[in-house]
Amino acid sequence: MKKDLIKGIKFDNGKRRWSLLPWRELGAVIDVLTTGAKKYSDNNWKYVEDGKNRYYDALMRHLTAWWDGEKNDPEDGLHHLAHAICNILFLFWMDNEGV
C-alpha cells in the first residue's frame, strides 16, 4: 500500500470537543476573573455570604445593562456579558457543590 493512502485513526468519539469553544470570548471571561482576583483575592467568590442571591443579582445587573445598550462595565471597562458568564459559572459551581 502506498504511504500517502494510509490514514491514522483516533478513538475520540463522544469525548469533549474543546475546539468548539470561542477562545476570544473565553479570554474575556478570564479577564473578568483575573480582575476580580486582583481586586479581592483568588477564588474569593466562593466565600461570599449569600452568594447565590448576590451573584444572581449581579448577573441580572450585567445582563440588563447589556440589554439596554451598555457594552462594557463602567467600573472596569470589561464586557458586561463576560461578567454575566462569570456570575453564571459561580452559580453553576454553587449548584454543583450544593452551596
- Report yes or no on 15 lying in a domain: no
Give pLDDT, residue 6: 82
The CA-atom distances, in angstroms, between 56 and each of 9, 16, 38, 64, 66 are 45, 28, 22, 12, 15
Give pLDDT, residue 58: 98
- Report yes or no on 78 lying in a domain: yes
- Report yes or no on 13 lying in a domain: no
Give pLDDT, residue 83: 98
- Report yes or no on 83 lying in a domain: yes
How many structural domains are present in the chain? Answer: 1
- Report yes or no on 45 lying in a domain: yes
Mean pLDDT, each 10-residue run in order, the chain (99 residues): 77 93 97 98 97 98 98 98 98 96
For residue 53, what are the domain limits? 22-97
Give pLDDT, residue 3: 65
Give pLDDT, residue 5: 77
- Report yes or no on 69 lying in a domain: yes
Give pLDDT, residue 7: 87
